[in-house]
Each structure stands twice: as structure tokens, then as C-alpha cells.
Amino acid sequence: MMKFLPKLLLLALLAFPAALLLKGPAAAAQDLTEDEEAEAVDVDEDVVDDVTAEDEDDEAEVEDDENTELTEEKEDEEEEALVGEVKASPNADTTILFVKGDDFPANEIVKFLLGFTNKGSDSFMVESLDASFRYPQDYQFYIQNFTALQLGIVVPPSRQATFEYSFIPAEPMGGRPFGLVINLNYKDSNGNVFQDAVFNQTVTITEREDGLDGETIFMYVFLSGLGLLVVVGLHQLLESRKVETGTSSHSDVDMSWIPQETLNQIMQSRRDKASPRRSPRKRSQKRSAGSDE
């Protein structure tokens, strides 16, 4: 028994460190696992907090946008209400006269005269006169806006004033209808602002009629060339018919209207042409033979 005791002690000493080494990594792994789980929990809580904060920020931004849109809509409604309240004064009359009538040619000057009559007991300050072309289906949409004419003229009670204004419709607008709006802006001595829509109707812009354009010139040149070809063709056809008539026989020609003497001369000339010509020597021999006899 005493012999095996040192061996058992030596075996115990060898087994004890091995057991410690085996237990150490397992404990460390368990510690690491617990630490990772704690970190994962912390990360999840942070993510949840971030998402919640972002959602709250988004909701706040949406609420701010909605509040801004509501504010803008209210401002627009207030502006429209203010604009709708600006009307013509019952103590003023306006008339308009287009110099060239109801003709609105494109790219040409359109001139009109506007008369203003003060029927009230207070003076009016005529501030400006403006005109614009608008879309016929929606008068809020401007097609062409002209420069406003600044007037600054005071019209006393029971007096009249006449203003002249001119504008030029754009050339691409020719041949189409547009809404023409002419406004006169004025105010009374108390500072009340008025606006009179002197003219508010749909008009048609007429196209400008020039003398000749490129298409018209080309059409005329083409028609002239075509007519010349037709004339040349008819001339050639008539010439070919004349040649055929000249080479055909005259048996079917009515010559009763020609005098008989003329016909005899024609026939004689044809016979002379058909008979063979004699040489001068044969003629002299024939003459001498006739004299001997």
C-alpha cells in the first residue's frame, strides 16, 4: 500500500491542473456569453429608443407640415377674400372704346381709350391701368401679362378723365381665343381702394396677314412650272398632228372653193415638175430639126 501512495499522489497532482484547465475555458465562455447577452440587450434598448425618437421626430415634422399648410391655406383664403372685396365704386362710371374695333391682330398694336366719370362728392385718385390675356377656361391662369400704366391722376367730383392704353398680342397667339381682362385701380379721398374690371371677355386673336410668305411663293412657282409643262405638251401634240396631216393624201380635201384658173395653174405646175427636164443641147437640136422641115 505504501508503495502505491507516491504514485497516487503524483497522479492526483497531474489530474488537478488538468481539471482546472478544463473548467477555466468553460467559465470564461459562460462569462462571455452573459456579457454578450447584456450588450445585446443594451443594443436592443438603444435601437428601440432611437426608433421611438425618430418616430416622434417624424410625427412632429408631419404636424409642423400640416400646420404650415393650414396656415398657407388660411393666408390664401384671406388674400382671396381681400381680393374679392376690391370692387368698383358706385360713385364712378367707366367706359372703354377700342380704336380699331373688336379686332385684335397678332403682333400689332391694339389701342383703346378708357373714360372715367366721377359721380360722387369726393375726389378719386386713379392709380393704375393694367391688361392681361388669360386662359379662357381658367381666368386665374395668365397667358400674357402687360405692363401696368401708372397714372396718379386726381379726378374731382362731377368731372371726367380719359386714359389711353395700348398693347401688342404675341404672334404665337394668333388664331386662338383668350380672355382679355382690363382693370382700372383707383381710390377715394378716404383711402378706400377700388378696382373696376372695365373689360372682361373672351376675344379671338386674328393672325397677321402678310403679303407673301415662303409657302405662297413656292406654290406659285410650282403652279407656273406645271402650267408651262402643260403648254409645252399641247404644242408638241399639235405639231405632231400637223406633220401627219401634211404627209397624208389630199384625195379627201374639198377644193371646190378654189377658182378653176388657179386649179389649172396648180395642175400645170405639178405636170411641169413631174416631166423630165431637157438639156440645152437637145433643145437646140430639136429647134434646128423643126426649122429644116
H or E, element range at 274:
helix 260-274
Question: What gap in Å lies between CA 180 and CA 137, rounded to an integer?
Answer: 12
- Cβ pair 180, 79 in contact under 8 A: no
Question: What gap in Å lies between CA 238 and CA 215, rounded to an integer?
Answer: 35
- Cβ pair 115, 160 in contact under 8 A: yes
H or E, element range at 55:
helix 4-85
What is the reported pTM?
Answer: 0.46
pLDDT score of 19: 66
SS3 4: helix
The residue type of 30 is Q
- Closest to 154 (Cα-Cα) out of 121, 188, 131, 114: 188
- β-pairing, 104-105 vs 110-118, is unpaired
C-alpha R_g of the chain = 58
Give the CB-side neighbour count of residue 10, counting CA atoms within 13 A: 5
pLDDT score of 30: 47
Q: What is the CA 37 to chain-centroid distance, rounded?
A: 69
Looking up cell 374639198 gives 254
47: left (phi over 0), alpha (psi -120 to 50) or beta: alpha
- Cβ pair 182, 197 in contact under 8 A: yes
pLDDT score of 32: 42
Question: What gap in Å lies between CA 98 and CA 35, rounded to an integer?
Answer: 92
pLDDT score of 208: 73
Q: Is the dihedral of CA 23, 25, 26, 30 positive or negative?
A: positive
- Residue ranges of the chain whose pLDDT lies below 50: 25-33, 40-41, 43-44, 47-48, 51, 62, 78-84, 292-293
